[in-house]
Amino acid sequence: MTFPKPPLWTRSFALACAANFLLGISFYVLMPTLPFYLMDELGVDEAIAGGILASYVIAALLVRPFSGFIVERFNAKHAYIAALAAYVLCTAGYLLAASVMGFVFVRIGIGLTFAILSTASNTQAIDIIPSQRRGEGIGYFGLMSSLAMAMGPMAGLWLMDHFPFALIFDAAIVAGLGGLVLASFVHAPRKSRVVQSAVLSLDRFLLVRGIPLACNLAVIGLAYGMLLAFAAVYGQRVGAQSTGLFFTLMAIGMMAARTFSGRLVDGGHVVAVVNGGTVSIVLGLGTMVLLPGAASFYITGVFIGAGFGVVYPAYQTLIVNLGSNAQRATAVATYFTALDVGIGLGMVLAGVVAARVGMNVAFAGGAVLVLLAGLLFALVFAPRLARPAQ
C-alpha cells in the first residue's frame, strides 16, 4: 500500500524560502561588484582583491565548526534571528569602510555572522521539511539562493553603472532587513538535539563521518569561489557587454537542475546526480577557457550553474543523512565548513594565479580540480553512498 507523501509547501517552509531569497539578494547584489569597487575605488590589484574578498570566509571558518554546537544548544530560530540581525548591521558597515583595512573588518564581521545564520537557517529548514522529502526540500530551499543569484548580480551591476556604490550597499541592507522580518514569522518544530556527553570532542563540532565527503566538496568549492570573485572581471576581458547576464544564466541553470534533482536524490539516484553535475561543471569551465569570447562565456554559465545546482544539495543531503537527528546541526555545519574552505581558497587562488599568469589559467585549474574531485567521488564514495535517503 502506498501512503501519500506529507506536504512540503507549508506556510513556514514558504516563509523560510522567502527569507532565504532575500538574504541571497543581500549577498549577491554585492558579490560581482565588490571586486570592481576594490580595484577601481581603492586601487588594489587582483591578488589583494581576492584576499580581501576571502577574508569573510576565513572569519567564517573560525566560527563555523562551533555553529552547529551553538544551534544544537539553543533554538535554531533564535540563533538565526540574532545572527541575521548582526549580519545586517555588518553589511551597513560597508557605508563607513573608506579604506582597505576598514573593508577587511567589515568582511570579517560578515563572515562571523554568516557562519551562524546559514547553519541555523538550513537546520531550521531541514526541521520543517518532512524526512521523506528531504532531498526535494533542500533542493527547493537552495533554489531560493539560485533565484537570488539570478537577480542580485544583474541588479548590482546595473546599479554600479548608473548610481554611486553607496546605493548598492543600501540595497543589500534593505534586502537583509526584509529577510529578517520574514524569518521572524517562521515556526519550526522543536527538535531535541542534545547529546549527553561529559567530554567535548571533535564530533560535537563537525560530523566526523562526513569529513571525507566534505573535503571532496571543498575541492569542488574552489572553482565556485573563483567564479564568484572574478567571473564578472573575466567576462569584461573577453568582450562580454553584460557580465551580470552570466550570473543570471548560471542561476537559471541552477534552478532548472534543482527542480528535478531533489526527487532523483530521494529516489536513490544520488550517484548519477553528482556525476552528471560534475561533468557539467567541468565542461562549462573547460569551454570558457578553450573558447574565450562573449558567446561562450554566457552559454557556459548555464552548464556551470546546472552542475553546481545539483552537486551542492546532493552533497548536503548525503552529509546530513550520515548523522542522527541529534547531529543535524553539526552535519549542516560540516557541509558549510567545506564550502567555506573551498570558496575562500578559490577566491585567494584565483586572485594570485590571475595576477601572475592570467584568469584563463585560474579557471582551467578549477576545471581540473573539479574533475579530480568527481573521479574520487565516483571511484571511492559512490559504492558506499548509492542508496536512497533514509
Provide the residue range defining the domain that includes 103.
11-190+206-385
d(CA 71, CA 50): 31
Residue 195 domain flag? no
> Residue 198 contacts by C-beta under 8 Å, 6 or more apart in sequence?
none
**Predicted local distance difference test score (pLDDT) of residue 389:** 43
Residue 271 domain flag? yes
Q: Residue type for 297, please? A: F
pLDDT in tens, the chain (390 residues): 455 677 888 898 899 999 999 999 998 898 778 888 888 777 777 778 777 877 877 788 788 777 777 777 777 788 889 999 999 999 999 888 778 888 889 989 998 898 888 888 888 888 888 877 877 787 788 778 777 877 887 788 889 888 888 899 999 999 999 999 999 998 877 655 454 444 455 556 678 888 889 999 999 999 988 887 788 788 888 888 777 788 888 888 888 887 777 778 777 788 888 899 999 999 999 999 899 888 889 999 999 999 998 898 888 888 888 877 667 778 878 888 888 788 878 888 887 887 788 888 889 999 999 999 999 999 988 887 655 444
Residue 73 domain flag? yes
Helix axes 11-28, 100-128, angle to 10 degrees: 160
Residue 93: count other Cβ atoms within 10 Å of its Cβ: 17
d(CA 328, CA 71): 10
> Residue 74 contacts by C-beta under 8 Å, 6 or more apart in sequence?
none
Name the region of 387 (left: φ>0; alpha: ψ -120 to 50; beta: rest). beta
All cell numbers assigned to 374: 568527481
> Residue 390 contacts by C-beta under 8 Å, 6 or more apart in sequence?
131, 321
Cα 140 versus chain centre, distance: 14
All cell numbers assigned to 152: 542580485
d(CA 297, CA 111): 30
Residue 390 domain flag? no
Alpha-carbon distances, residue 69 vs 63, 244, 301, 338 (angstroms): 10, 38, 36, 16
Q: Name the burial class of residue 48, with classes exposed (0-12), middle (13-18) and buried (19+) by CB atoms within 10 angstroms of its CB.
A: middle
d(CA 235, CA 157): 13
Say what the pTM is.
0.72
| Total domains in the fold of the chain | 1
Contact 92, 141 (CB under 8 A): no
Helix (H, G, I), strand (E, B) or coil at 303: helix
User: The domain spanning residue 84 has which CATH number?
Assistant: 1.20.1250.20
CA Rg value for the chain? 20
Contact 138, 315 (CB under 8 A): no
Residue 198 domain flag? no
Residue 196 domain flag? no
d(CA 56, CA 196): 33
Helix (H, G, I), strand (E, B) or coil at 129: coil
d(CA 31, CA 146): 14
**Predicted local distance difference test score (pLDDT) of residue 275:** 92
d(CA 294, CA 87): 35
The continuous run of DSSP H or E covering 300 comes out as helix 294-321
Residue 173 domain flag? yes
Residue 199 domain flag? no
Residue 175: count other Cβ atoms within 10 Å of its Cβ: 24
Contact 19, 87 (CB under 8 A): no
